[in-house]
């Protein structure tokens, strides 16, 4: 299972692991922010049904959910390689596990349950804007009342068009991803130029609001990556 847009993750998952480990895309900051968010919520009496769209190896959520009352974890990803890592990382949650290979925007339409927590990190930017809007509507339809949506992604501010944002992103990679080899960086640049379609943050928020999500937080640890949390009331 896969497509050219996910090839880099299937063949080179170790590059992405290095990027996460070294915090080049602020993974550590997002991790801490979500951990605080979870700590503010009392441990739920009722077991959580969790959906992770574009879960990759699910390492972050698997760590954040450890010790919480998780009933089920559903993960969608186009990369079978990533899903095999996710299977191992999620085992300690000791919950019902459903890891499905394929496009999340299609799989969500077939989902036969609703979720307490829907999470997606660094995956939605692979969709075109029209697809993103439809996808967000489908997420809303599958979020339980009182449930939480957490989206982490690359997003741009109103002043930058896609080309300007991506070239600035690439320039920053060149200057700061010190432990990634030049040939691996070239693979990343190629992937970004061909397959990344970051939304404007302001538009993304307005699409959520149009779908009647209530925005609860916008967190920007740097100028390139954003986390937005929302609820369904
Ligand atoms: C940058 S990785 C992020 C992985 C993980 N969410 C994280 O933050 O560590 C992007 C992931 O999204 C997956 N992906 C990209 N487009 C997808 C789509 N349309 N449907 C499902 N998965 C997709 C890729 O295979 C990859 O595992």
The alpha carbon of 128 and the centre of ligand 1 are apart by a number of angstroms equal to 14
User: Is the CB of 188 inside a 6 Å radius of any atom of ligand 1?
Assistant: no
Quote the longest CA-to-CA distance of the chain.
Answer: 49
- E strand or H helix at 74: strand 70-77
Tell me the DSSP string of 168-193: HHHHHHHHH-TTS-HHHHHHHHHHHH
Kindly report the average pLDDT of the chain as a whole number. 93
Cα(137)–Cα(115) distance, integer angstroms: 14
Q: What is the per-residue pLDDT across 173-222, written as a single tens digit (0 to 9) for each?
A: 999 999 999 999 999 999 999 999 999 999 999 999 999 999 999 999 99
CATH class of 4-77+102-231: alpha beta
pLDDT reported for residue 41: 74
How would residue 10 be classed by pLDDT, with cut points 50, 70 and 90? Answer: low
| Domain ranges for the chain | 4-77+102-231
Is residue 4's pLDDT more than 60?
A: no
How would residue 1 be classed by pLDDT, with cut points 50, 70 and 90? Answer: very low
State mean pLDDT over 11-38.
Answer: 92
User: Is the CB of 79 inside a 6 Å radius of any atom of ligand 1?
Assistant: yes
Residue with CA closest to ligand 1 atom 8: 121
Residue with CA closest to ligand 1 atom 10: 123
State mean pLDDT over 19-28.
Answer: 96
Pick from 45-49, 128-132, 139-143, 207-211: least confident: 45-49
Q: What is the per-residue pLDDT across 60-112, written as a single tens digit (0 to 9) for each?
A: 999 999 989 999 999 999 999 899 999 999 999 999 999 999 999 999 999 99
Q: What is the per-residue pLDDT across 35-48, written as a single tens digit (0 to 9) for each?
A: 999 888 765 668 99
State mean pLDDT over 131-140.
Answer: 98
User: Is the CB of 76 inside a 6 Å radius of any atom of ligand 1?
Assistant: yes
Minimum-distance ligand 1 atom for the alpha carbon of 59:
9
Phi-psi region of 23 (alpha: psi -120 to 50; beta: other; left: phi over 0): left
User: Is the CB of 122 inside a 6 Å radius of any atom of ligand 1?
Assistant: yes
The alpha carbon of 120 and the centre of ligand 1 are apart by a number of angstroms equal to 8
Is residue 8's pLDDT more than 90?
A: no
Closest by CA position to 52, among listed 96, 115, 130: 115
* Angle made by CA atoms 30, 51, 137, in degrees to the nearest 5: 95
Is residue 5's pLDDT more than 60?
A: no
């Amino acid at each position: 299972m896969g497509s050219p847009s996910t090839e880099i993750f299937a063949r080179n998952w170790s590059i992405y692991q290095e990027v996460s480990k070294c915090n080049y895309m602020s993974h550590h900051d997002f991790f801490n922010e979500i951990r605080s968010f979870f700590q503010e919520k009392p441990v739920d009496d009722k077991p959580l049904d969790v959906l992770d769209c574009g879960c990759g190896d699910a390492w972050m959520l698997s760590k954040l959910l450890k010790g919480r009352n998780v009933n089920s974890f559903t993960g969608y990803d186009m990369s079978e390689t990533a899903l095999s890592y996710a299977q191992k990382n999620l085992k300690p949650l000791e919950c019902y596990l459903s890891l499905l290979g394929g496009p999340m925007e299609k799989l969500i339409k077939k989902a036969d349950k609703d979720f307490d927590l829907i999470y997606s990190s660094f995956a939605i930017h692979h969709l075109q804007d029209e697809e993103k809007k439809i996808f967000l509507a489908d997420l809303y339809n599958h979020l339980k009342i009182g449930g939480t949506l957490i989206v982490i992604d690359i997003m741009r501010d109103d002043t930058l068009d896609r080309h300007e944002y991506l070239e600035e992103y690439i320039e920053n990679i060149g200057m700061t991803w010190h432990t990634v080899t030049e040939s691996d960086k070239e693979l990343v640049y190629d992937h970004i130029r061909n397959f990344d379609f970051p939304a404007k943050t302001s538009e993304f928020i307005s699409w959520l609001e149009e779908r009647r999500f209530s925005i609860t937080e916008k967190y920007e640890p740097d100028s390139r990556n954003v986390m937005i949390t929302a609820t369904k009331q």
